Structure 1
Amino acid sequence: MARLEGVPVADLLDALDAATSAKATKRLMVAVLYKRGHSVPVVADWFGMRENTIYAWFDRLEAEPIEQAVRDRPRPGRPPKLDENERRELDATLHEPPTAAGYDADAWSVSLVRRHIAETYDVEYTHRHVRNLVDDAGVSS
């Protein structure tokens, strides 16, 4: 039985036109090349990939909407040290000047945010992770 029989190449091409990530583009290109008659071993060689990876993508394309199938599935990771309420509270705090939180500073720095998190939530984060939290909050530091 051939793969992707129920997935029209026109739908793949439409999704390819709308793709915004390199991964989605690559996955769609692989599927289009396959649908146009190239074998999985040949396409795998062209892209420097394992055939099993391509077959796994095809399984998803057959089972899920194209837009969903070409994205990575969420991967479980370590649970966050700050819960959702604490994270919202931190975001709100970062949108106020540091003086509102009792600090003698004109603007938030990553070091100051890191100190605030440690003092307020008893949580230690790396400098890089705090930078990500600040960026996620939409605050410049």
Structure 2
Amino acid sequence: MGRLDHITLEELYDLKDQIDEGKPRERVLAAIGRKQGDQLETLADRHGVVEKTIRNWLDRFEEEPIEQAPYDAPRPGGPAKIEGEDRERLFEQLQQPPTELGYDQQAWSAKLLLHHAKAEYGVEYHETYAYDLLERGRAVLADSPASTS
């Protein structure tokens, strides 16, 4: 249990009270459980992960300041290139058939979205990200079973 020797239960409970939900809260709850003597296997079952994940979570509390330990480090990659109102507008456009915006296609494809993003917003995306945008915008994909709706 040496990973958490320098942290008190009170500190962990205070941290838990500052975190509403999600993985960061799970990590703090696992640390609390371990501090109270729970075995790694028990914690893994409780949180629906493998023991190695629990060990990784607990290592964070040893390696990082307690306030940062529950949170993931920022990931590489820039922020969304189309943001705010423009992003909302793009997602609204993806709800419409492309013909409503003057395109010949009946349904959105990744290539059409890439063309539209460049023409309308002046940004270029990788084709893989275009599929993510289509999914987030819940657009009807060309050549997909849902495109018949």
TM-score range, shorter chain: 0.5 to 0.7
Instruction: Report which stretch shifted further, 64-73 or 118-127.
Output: 118-127
Structure 2 CA distance for partners of 1:131 and 1:110, relative to 1, 3 Å: farther
How far has the Cα of 1:56 moved from its partner?
A: 1.1
Structure 2 CA distance for partners of 1:31 and 1:118, relative to 1, 3 Å: same
Report the residue type matching 1:76 in the other structure. Answer: P
Look up the match of 1:19: 19
SS for the counterpart of 1:7 is coil
TM-score with structure 1 length normalisation? 0.60
Is the 1:12–1:31 Cα contact (8 Å) retained in structure 2?
yes
Structure 2 CA distance for partners of 1:109 and 1:41, relative to 1, 3 Å: closer
Ranges in structure 2 where 5+ consecutive residues have no aligned partner: 95-100, 102-112, 138-149
Structure 2 CA distance for partners of 1:33 and 1:93, relative to 1, 3 Å: closer
* CA distances 1:63-98 after superposition (whole Å, capped 9, x unpaired): 212221101222335x67x8xxxx4xx65994xxx9
* C-alpha separation in 2, matches of 1:23 and 1:122: 32
Structure 2 CA distance for partners of 1:32 and 1:91, relative to 1, 3 Å: closer
Look up the match of 1:45: 45
Structure 2 CA distance for partners of 1:24 and 1:91, relative to 1, 3 Å: closer
* C-alpha separation in 1, matches of 2:85 and 2:28: 42
TM-score with structure 2 length normalisation? 0.57
CA RMSD of aligned residues (A): 3.6
Aligned length: 114
Is the 1:110–1:131 Cα contact (8 Å) retained in structure 2?
no
How far has the Cα of 1:55 moved from its partner?
A: 1.1
Equivalent in 97, 119, 126 of residue 130 of structure 2: 126
Q: Equivalent pairs: percent with the same residue?
A: 32
* C-alpha separation in 1, matches of 2:84 and 2:28: 40
